[in-house]
Structure 1
Amino acid sequence: MTLRNPLAASFAVLGLTVLGLAPPATAADLPPLAHSLTMQAPKPAPALKLTDLDGKPHDLAKLRGKVVLVNFWATWCPPCRREMPSMERLKQALAGEPFVVLAVDVGEDADTIEAFTSQLGAVPSFPILLDTTSRAMQAWKVAGLPTTYLVDPRGRIVARAIGGREFDHPDLVRVIRDQLRK
């Protein structure tokens, strides 16, 4: 069989890629994790009330006085998977500081998340919150995964990042420490 229309062939390849029939991307295929957050004029953070993998409720409003890193992610997202260990290293580096990491998994169940975290070697010590309905994702206007927000001690979003980050990189840690000093 020969394809007489090269445009049709291109669309066929594109279609297979979109359907997920193309070979999966490997870590080597992905761009490096970034080291920055985009600072913005402070604005009130939307409500965030979710339960974690153990069923414990978490409410962002009760974390006033602390700097909070809110990361929206999913286990099927390659950059999300790659940045997870650096979030744990960041949390450990800032232990004893008024700093909290909240990892908000979007649209997945606890079994799926636990299967992923068991592959990490060390299960994250920060809460993994369940946004099974994606309502929090919508309220926070998340357009893609991963998306991360930095919330200041007054409950305002002061920075955002779309895409994977190396959270324990000195440039990023400096931004967080600046918020801790305010």
Structure 2
Amino acid sequence: MSKLAMVLVGMLLAFSWPVSDAEPPQNFAVHEAPVPVPEISFEDGNGKPKTLADFHGKVVLLNVWATWCAPCRKEMPTLDRLQAKLGGPDFEVVALSMDRAGPDAVKMFYGEIGVTHLALNIDSSAKAMFTLGAVGLPMTLLIDRDGKEIGRLIGPAEWDAPDMVDFLRGRIAANPERK
């Protein structure tokens, strides 16, 4: 194969490959191929039962956290700003609290720090944390529109940092809605 033919094939592959150009931020482990996410259940702020299937069709950033977790508390404003920036029909930050004290504790915390863009989601049993294999909090999963895990980050992050936003935008664009 000639050098020109190899370059053209390379260009075709580059333009057809559904992957973001943005490198994953530090500590963000991306799977080679999306993997199934175990079923979890939780409640919204009104006590209505929810599952990840309720977000089917969106790219989801599932953040498992608790008000008693100092690093979680610190990153929560960055998740709120990320939801304000990218949230919509294609993407949602799902902040899932593991607080045994219930939704009132989370509501009070949201009020204290000024969270206005994140919905309240809670699993006061903390079963989701164990089902998802969390070795600590916070833990965040990036889930594609079909409900499969693209990757995860264990520990806190600056979710609204430019490199993180670029990476997530790339993943949203690389995972178009299927009609």
TM-score range, shorter chain: 0.7 to 0.9
What is the one-letter code of the residue matched to 1:91?
A: Q
| Alignment pair present for 1:40 and 2:27 | no
Q: 2:66 aligns with which of 36, 57, 74?
A: 74
Q: Which residue of 2 aligns with 1:167?
A: 159
Gaps of 5+ in 2: 1-24
Structure 1-normalised TM-score? 0.74
Gaps of 5+ in 1: 1-33
Q: Which residue of 2 aligns with 1:60?
A: 52
Q: Which residue of 2 aligns with 1:86?
A: 78
Measure the CA separation in 1 of the matches of 2:110 and 2:133: 26
CA drift of 1:35 comes to 5.9
Q: Which residue of 2 aligns with 1:127?
A: 119
Q: 1:40 to 1:155 in 2, by over 3 A?
A: same
What is the one-letter code of the residue matched to 1:66?
A: K
Partner-residue secondary structure (3-state), 1:61: helix
Q: Which residue of 2 aligns with 1:102?
A: 94
Q: Which residue of 2 aligns with 1:176?
A: 168
CA drift of 1:96 comes to 3.7
| Alignment pair present for 1:117 and 2:107 | no
The percent identity for this pair of structures is 37
Measure the CA separation in 1 of the matches of 2:83 and 2:103: 22
Select between 162-171 and 111-120 the one with higher mean Cα deviation: 111-120
* Kept in 1: contact 2:143–2:151 (CA 8 A): yes
CA drift of 1:36 comes to 5.3
* Kept in 1: contact 2:99–2:124 (CA 8 A): yes
Give RMSD over aligned pairs: 1.7
Matches for 1:126-145 after TM superposition, within 5 Å: 126-145=118-137
Q: Which residue of 2 aligns with 1:51?
A: 43
What is the one-letter code of the residue matched to 1:176?
A: L
Structure 2-normalised TM-score? 0.76
Measure the CA separation in 2 of the matches of 1:148 and 1:105: 12
Aligned residue pairs, count? 148
